[in-house]
Amino acid sequence: MIFREASRRSLVIVLAAGLLGALPLSAFEGDARKPKGKAADSWAVGSQPVALVNGSPVVFHVTSPQPLKSLSGKWLEHAVFFASGGDAENWYGIAGASLETPRGDYSLVLKGVTTNGSELGFEKKIKVAKGKYHSIAASVPKQYTEPSAEQLQKINQDKTRKEDAFKGVRPEREWTGRFHPPVKAQISDGFGTSRTFNGRVRSVHQGIDYAVPEGTPVAALNSGTVRLAQPLFFEGNCVVLDHGQGLLTLYMHLSKIEVKEAEHVSGGQKIGLSGGTGRATGPHLHVAVRWQGVYLNPATLLSLPLP
C-alpha span between 95 and 158 (Å, rounded): 29
75 and 219 housed in the same domain: no
Burial class (CB in 10 A: 0-12, 13-18, 19+), 74: middle
Q: Which residues contact 292 (CB under 8 A, 6 or more apart)?
A: 7, 9, 12, 13, 169, 246
164 and 111 housed in the same domain: no
140 and 110 housed in the same domain: no
Reported as a single tens digit per residue, the pLDDT across 174-224 is 887 789 999 999 999 889 887 676 666 567 888 999 999 999 999 999 999
pTM score of the predicted model: 0.74
Q: What is the DSSP string of 151-179?
A: HHHHHHHHHHHHHHHH----SSB---S--
**Would you state the pLDDT for residue 202?**
67
Domain boundary among 128, 147, 168: 128
164 and 262 housed in the same domain: yes
Q: Is 164 part of any domain? A: yes
Three-state secondary structure call for residue 142: helix
Q: Which residues contact 148 (CB under 8 A, 6 or more apart)?
A: none
Our CA angle for 300, 304, 305, nearest 5°, is 160
**Would you state the pLDDT for residue 7?**
37
Q: Is 6 part of any domain? A: no
**Would you state the pLDDT for residue 41?**
64
Reported as a single tens digit per residue, the pLDDT across 132-148 is 887 666 676 767 677 78
Reported as a single tens digit per residue, the pLDDT across 167-185 is 876 766 788 778 999 999 9
15 and 144 housed in the same domain: no
